[in-house]
Structure 1
Amino acid sequence: MYCMRCGSEIKEDQSFCMKCGAKVEKIRYESTPSDVDTSARDSSKDDPTDDVQRGSGSESGLTEGNAEALRARPTEGIADALRPNPTEGNAEVLQPGPTEGNVDAFQSGPVYEEPGIYQQPGNYEQPGIYEEPGFNEYPDDMEEPEPASVKPKKSGNKALIALSVILVLSMLMVGGLLVYRQMPMVRYQRNIKVAQKYMLEGDYEQAILAIKEAIDIEPKKMDAYLLLADAFKEIGEEENAINTVEIALNYFPENKRLTEYLSELELSVETSEDVEDSDDEEDSGNIRKGSDTKKSGMVTPDDKTAVSAASEKSEIDYDRLKKEIAQLMQGNMVYISSDVSQYPLVRVYFQINDANGNVQTLLSPTAAIRESISGGAFIEREIKKIEKLEGNQGISIDIVADKSGSMDSDINQVKSVMSQFVNSLDYTNGDRAELLAFEDSVMYMCSYTNNPVYLNNGILGMSAYGGTALYDAIYEAVTNSSGQAGAHCVIAFTDGQDNSSVFNYQQVVDYARAVSVPIYIIGAGSVDTQTLTYIADQTGGRYWNINDLYDMTEILNEIYSEQKDMYCLEYISQADADRYAPRSIESVVCDKDSNYGASTTTSFTPARVIDYGNHSSRYEVVLQDISWADANAAAIRKGGHLVTITSQDEMNQVSALCENAGIKYCWMGGYTMMDSSGCYGHWITGEDFNQYQAWYPGEPSRNDLDGTEEKYLMLWNIKGVWSWNDERIHPAGDPELQYYRGKTGYVIEYEQ
């Protein structure tokens, strides 16, 4: 017997090692129960510990069939591992785990072979260990090696690892291939190869498409331009071929090959023209044989679609310009609105956007247009000019503001932001604005003007009160906006959901689309985001949702910049046609300096424009039993507004006009509104209401004796005295107020 600590021999009757003093422990071995067939265990399982079972044998020593000797490798201070040496025919592995003072049991289990460790059954060898029969002992001059790690190997691991490596490598190869195929140069070369294939097959149209795509990817590759010029030449489009080479020369101005090819193409065109001229006996030399006068913009004296008999052709040929833009980067030409206020001059407003929707600025654009009126033939029209709005033209902006009761704590912030915005408009170049507010109904805080003083008065006059008639307010704004000459739009703000409108959101959308008015909406608080987004998207506007009301400043400036980035294309239409007839136009814009071209086909019906022209008199008196809203709308359509009385002289003049017309109850252009201090008046023009007032005693009341709301200003004659009253919206239509009938009317005031 030997010491488990130092390996010294110990006699049978000794309780302690005489060399190191370690206590001699009595080792008990447990054998595998005889009813367990360990030989049947599957050594290929991934986790061999799943099959290990504890034995319940006796406390006897090594039984017959067990290993005849235990080869223990003692370590200094602790015999922490006893590895059995299984004999042939015995599939038990004794896995002892004795520590000092605790060597109670060995756990048996199946034998697992691992190449290089288990050599043969019954002959367990550990490299580097000096072996003597019965145990291993290290010579004094030999350093003890670390114990070898012997772990059962999980079957199938190598195959699994190999498969994983293959999958990872495959994914990397596929991903790399995809990235490679998306590299610009690879895409360029692929399109060039496709184009060359089409060229060989004689399919030049498809070849041209492939080459254009290649140029979009790599616009500075000379070979692509040469190939494109060849394709155009093959189908007889020498002019397009020339344009292609000229574009290439912008990138390679000193290239001899391009210069020579351009000279060759130009010579070919000149020769072709000479041949055609000599063969055309009827041609005076100005028109090529076989040309289509309608298509090229030429008109005959008896052509009723001509602007005049003296106008022979447009400055820009539509077909030629259409071909030229094929060589340029393609933008999107988005129709916005039109204006026929100076008919037969027609203005079309549009944006040029790149492929990502960003506004594109043109440097020196040229344009051409063909027009069809009421479904007739497309006739090329004379272009007068094309220009960007910024610095050249004004825009008309209809601002719609929420002043419902929910705005009570935020109304001052909104006023501040709106005041900054109206003060920033470019009035010198024609900007104009109108301010509508809404509560239970729509209220005119300031009708269209280019005077920021009036607009600011309208802003200051707003107070939070009542419900939310958002849709009615936007509908009213679209009506007024569509009647303005030039570019126009609606910008609306709300902090809640509509609960008071007569119109619904779909009616708003349909109407705005019909008259080409884009609607921009800013929402805050508990708004119906989905509906507001729908309204904006369907009408060509945009929607924003904000948490901080001061964010409105940046959004308003963004909308304004977007409007100013539009272009106006002016052309002469058919003079004797109805200016408001439905139209379809095919328009094309080309800008070689910015390398951009765009075209579009769109249909529209011009909206009726309000005529603000000169009138024979400042006032117009109308005797009619209508509501305040109808009277206000009639005044706007005629280019004026309901009268606002700002002096005693004006009071006397208007009163006399009404009396002479048989009017006793006359609508004026004003409201009464409520705030914390009570009831106050406001003119729809934004004029100062405090400079003159003439209320009937006890008025304004804001409510009638029966509780009906009264907020619309009326000039009335009570017992021969003219004064002011706030009245319900349509007293002549109330069966209880018969005395208004036949005596109600309104006065329109014209500023021009």
Structure 2
Amino acid sequence: MKKIIIAATFLALSFSMSACSLTDKGSLKKITEGKEFNAWEMDLAEKLESYGLEDDEKEKLQKIDEECDDIKDNDYKTQLLTAKKLVKLSAQIESRLEDSAKGLVEKLDKTDVPYASEDDKKKLSEYSETISDMIKKHDFSNYKDISESFSKLVEYSSTKLTGLDVNIVQFDYTNYPTVRMYVDVKDSSGNVVTNLSPNMFFVSQKSVANGDFQSVTIKNISMLDQKDALNIDMVADTSSSMEGERLSSAKTVMSTFLNTVQFNVGDKVKLTEFNSYIDKSGVFTSDVNALNQKIFSYVASGQTKLYDTLIYAVQDVSGIPGAKCVLAFTDGEDVGSYNSASDVVNVVSSYKIPVYIVRIGDNYSANDPELMQITSASGGEFKYFSSFGMDMGNFYNSIYTGMKKYYEIEYEMPDPTNYTDKRDFNVYVKGDGVGGSADIETNSGNDFFNTLLGNFLRSYIEDMNSHSYNQLASKIDDTVSPTDETGLKYQMSKQVTGGFANVVSESLMSYSVSSITVVDENTIKLATDEDYDVILDRKYSSFTGDKLNQLNNILYRNSWNVGPDSQIRIWERVNQKPEYVLKKGSDGVWRFSQYSVDPGSNATIAIYDAVTAY
């Protein structure tokens, strides 16, 4: 009987164990989704390893993996317990990664990436979509690599790198509110960086409202040698001190320089001869034969008004769109200028137009430090003729490299009708693992109207010297009655067609906008400060008062003997501070309309040189 009971108990126990085993096996299959335990465990472990685990997670996974090596194939109970451990570990890992992934996506949403190119933005978007898909599917394969790349790109796109020397060289407001900014980029060795693509440039402007820098939409970026011509105002010293070998060398070297100019791609040259006078008759041209003919006609005579001529040339070329510079050939000793070297430095520093000076003659003179200061302040270069002789190719290449290796950034000015506030601009350039930035404070409205003023005044001078009303016509408001004596149309047409018959020539030396008053969206008042160099002939007997005293002092100093009927040629520096009313036409163009302050009411005139004319 006992044997029967024992046997029955054994059978019941075996049946119970078998039933438990079947239950464990069924539960296990639900976890492994029907796969064999060992295959399932290996697949899941491999998947978890691809997530990029923390050290403690690696240890736990390794321990479970080692336990699996000792589990027999039919030990479903142990397999089930191990599977549950692995599932729990997997859930913990995926929970951590899900929190991390959500944090990354949220970080991108909150992080400003001002230095992300369009390609970078596209890649960041792809990363974000990939990580969001991981969260949705609870599959974080390769998450570590993707998250690291994602984080690096976010940091790369939001942090300024160093290693590049970036300088903002010039602005061109000719087509305002479209603005051209010229930027020079060099590496740590001082070499021009030429392989930068448009998506590596970022321009931002400080917001007046909150002080934060906000991105400016860039319309176009290119290197100048890819599209723009170079305009060169070539200044030629033909004073008495250049007579003989110096002028002969200067003629040859200027002609040789013309052979290096890239006229075929649109470069243009203007000749400005100077001695006691500044020849303003030249035009920017690519006619090399006409330029050479003019050069070889030069004859030495008179004084050396170098400083006055440099100021004239800089403001003259400033009205030409695109890249520009001044190149002067001189023996370097100024005689007779109204302006000083420091005046020239102030002007070139303001205009940021490179001035290159080739010194003809001795290897060194006492004036050379002043000339070097001028070229340095302008971003140009000082050279001794003897240092390269007739080999002008390298010199042109240095000018070409200095000017045509600028990057031209074209953008639309934000809030273009804000003419009075100063603006802070930042340019950041991002290369391959390096970067650099430059900041500049500008008054874009002031600079724009200063450009308009310069073009208007240069047209006035051109019409004044030719006694015609041609260049001014397009710059003056035609809606004002021609009989309105406050109107610029009346005043200018009267002056340029014969108002000053005794004027030999008039030169615009400097000008600036003093203030801008916005009357309404189509009307502004422009207060200005203008300097002119005027040469005119008058009878000695016509001078009285202070002007007579000024004249007598100069004539005495120069040992001139004169009588009442002597004709005197005088050089005057005229300063006036008119205020103009400008009107914006239906075509969107600003034109000079009227005087609100007459220029004659506050003009000052100083005679600084004189000779007997005949």
TM-score normalised per structure 1:
0.41
- State which structure, 1 or 2, has the greater radius of gyration over its C-alpha atoms: 1
Higher relative contact order (CA 8 A, sep 6+): 2
Query: How does the TM-score come out when normalised to structure 2?
Result: 0.49
